Structure 1
Amino acid sequence: MEVIPSIGLGTFLAEDPAALKAAVHSAIEDSGYRHVDCAAYYKNQEIIGEALSEIFAKGQVKREEVWITSKVWNTKHRPDLLVKDVKKTLKELKLEYLDLVLVHWACAFQSREDDEYLPRDETGKIITENIDILETWKAMEECYNLGLAKHIGVSNFSIEQLERMRYDPGVKIQPYCNQVESHMYLQQQPMLDYLTQRKMYMISYTCLGRATLKGPYGYPLLQDPVLNEVAKEIGKTPAQTNLRFLLKLSPYAVVIPKSLNPANIKGNISLDFDLTQEQFEKLRSRQCGWRFVNPYPNWKVDALSLGFN
């Protein structure tokens, strides 16, 4: 598969093994998903690997028909650790190659051989390490050259960082995409315009907000009154309406909604409808720069200053 499918199954915070395994089966076998988004940091790749192995063994869906993405965590930016980590991911997922591997964040934490993903000092602050992202990227290119990944990309990078990579003579392969938080409240238009102009994909995570987190107006994103008004007009759910809106922003927009509920999994990929220009503009007007994901209070490292436009 050479082009990333525009809708994928997100797997962050999918911590119930049985539910996650069932969700992967449901998504691929029952709902037609051909894209699953994973990461070493999610600590659930072995469960996903079991599900994928079972699905491919049946023969109805072939490995080459499903796009699998994973990500390298911040403690594995050192080149020798990065390649090892991608090989470990392949073992966990029971795959011979990844369709896409991403650098999860631009900031490097203290290099670790083990699975301690959040190394902290005595004050609780994350211990960082000065590893140039261009050195990390050389290891990503090695993963491509070794056949471990068919495409390589980044996540949570800024336009400035992408421009640095663009014009550095040592960079041989440009990122395939940038995965960032994006939803109706955080449309990331400057980033999306930049990536679209360069024919690079913007993959939107937390694209439905967080059901347990209130947005800027005091309620979760899917309870937004404007979103619900438009959803009612077209006879779709707020989730479907929000996802269709995001995909309408650019031909290089990709969404990876997470759900473990079979009905919602099916609904999130059932987007064969359109929005009128008036409906589109109503949703566009809800942009306010609100983030549901900000690691700073927990990490005590301002990762967002490294990453967003």
Structure 2
Amino acid sequence: KMSPKVPKVEICKDVWMPMIGLGTFFQPEVGDATKWAIDAGYRLIDTAELYRNEEDIGRVLKEKLSQGTVKREELFIVSKVWSYNHHEDDVVKACRQSLKKLQLDYLDLYLIHTSFGVNFHREDLFFPYREDGVLDTNDVDYLETWRGMEKCVELGLTKSIGISNFNEQQIERILSVCKIPPANIQVELNPQLTQKDLLKFCKSKNISVMAFTPIGRPNLEAKTPSYLFDDRVLGIAKKYGKTATQVVLRYLIDCGAFPIPRSVNKQRIEANIDVFDFQLTPEEISVIDSFNENKRLVKFTDAKGHKFHFLPPEAFQ
């Protein structure tokens, strides 16, 4: 079967982002996963300083580019600056370091990983704790971080910039002072956390939305999340000859988001991209909407109460 052609959307002038991508994390199999994904038709690969896998991904990209399997302009590579590099000059340094690890001349999209800063103790100590056991955060304003992001664009290190794990008010603050507006926000988004208000807000500001953890954290024994095991969703899947997972990924695309499912399993990687030959009806979309509980899996709880945290204190009750 031919690998699917993934449609692209222009997220800012002359920058076209594929509608689905491969999410990655710190896993030994990430090199294989990246290889399988590119072979299956994926062009968007999402990584980050935090994931400690840029070197592994870089090796595969170099191999695929030198074999001529893909051209650089067909790929869409995303990375993120971590919280201990929130000072303006550190952002540029971090971006250059990511490029070096990925063996690339430029990124397609560079994101601020989250809204609050932490102090640098040493490389790879991403969550440094003080002696009293509290996360060693700082008050570097993400507006300063944003100036560093803009510098990365001006220096040609990245084609576009954005944010991850930010809220509407924080985006408004950036929009009110920026030279270059964010082209994308990457947030947790799935049927249990549909983020409708944020989607609407971002649409009004021309900010595309990438969805991490798009199918939650599936657990076959516990049959969770419920939407992957629900008879109504399984009925929709049967109608289209798809799986519940494929239906949920399609749902996110139909809601206007760009899902980046994470997998290191070849069959699942191939199945996850096979969602462009059907579309859900408004009724089917509202069935899946009904699973929303505003339930978050990723909260960065250790920084709760920080003045730049993207979640209000009541989110941690």
Which of 49, 66, 86 lines up with 1:77 in the alignment? 86
**Secondary structure, aligned partner of 2:262:** coil
2:130 matched residue in structure 1:
121
CA offsets 1:62-89 (integer angstroms, 9 cap, x no match): 1111000000001110122221111110
1:186 matched residue in structure 2:
193
Q: CA RMSD in A?
A: 2.2
1:26 aligns with 2:39: no
1:275 aligns with 2:284: no
Deviation at 1:22, TM superposition (A): 1.3
1:42 matched residue in structure 2:
51
> 1: CA distance between counterparts of 2:307 and 2:297?
12
1:254 matched residue in structure 2:
258
2:65 matched residue in structure 1:
56
1:198 matched residue in structure 2:
205
The answer (yes or no) to whether the contact 2:246–2:274 under 8 Å persists in 1 is yes
> 2: CA distance between counterparts of 1:194 and 1:181?
16
Which of 204, 207, 222 lines up with 2:214 in the alignment? 207
> 2: CA distance between counterparts of 1:131 and 1:174?
20
2:4 matched residue in structure 1:
none
Q: TM-score, normalised by structure 1?
A: 0.90
The answer (yes or no) to whether the contact 1:125–1:301 under 8 Å persists in 2 is no
Q: State, as a whole percentage, how many aligned pairs show the same letter.
A: 38
> 2: CA distance between counterparts of 1:151 and 1:240?
29
Correspondence list, 1:283-302, <5 A = 283-296=288-301, 299-302=302-305
Deviation at 1:234, TM superposition (A): 2.5
Deviation at 1:211, TM superposition (A): 2.3
Correspondence list, 1:168-247, <5 A = 168=177, 171-212=178-219, 219=225, 221-247=227-253
Change (3 A) 1:244 1:88: same
> 1: CA distance between counterparts of 2:16 and 2:88?
27
Change (3 A) 1:43 1:214: farther
The answer (yes or no) to whether the contact 1:294–1:304 under 8 Å persists in 2 is no
4+ long deviations beyond 6 Å: none
Query: Mind listing any 5+ residue stretches in structure 1 that lack a counterpart?
Result: none
Query: Mind listing any 5+ residue stretches in structure 2 that lack a counterpart?
Result: 1-13, 313-317
Deviation at 1:292, TM superposition (A): 1.7
> 2: CA distance between counterparts of 1:172 and 1:295?
29
CA offsets 1:207-265 (integer angstroms, 9 cap, x no match): 010125999x9656533444333223332111100000011112xx2110011111111
**Secondary structure, aligned partner of 2:69:** coil
> 2: CA distance between counterparts of 1:220 and 1:3?
34
CA offsets 1:89-148 (integer angstroms, 9 cap, x no match): 001101010001000000011135623211101232211111111111111111111111
Which of 257, 266, 291 lines up with 2:270 in the alignment? 266
The answer (yes or no) to whether the contact 1:99–1:149 under 8 Å persists in 2 is yes
The answer (yes or no) to whether the contact 1:181–1:207 under 8 Å persists in 2 is yes
The answer (yes or no) to whether the contact 1:140–1:152 under 8 Å persists in 2 is yes
1:132 aligns with 2:141: yes
> 1: CA distance between counterparts of 2:51 and 2:136?
20
**Which structure has the highest strand share of the two?**
2
> 2: CA distance between counterparts of 1:222 and 1:304?
36
Change (3 A) 1:122 1:228: farther
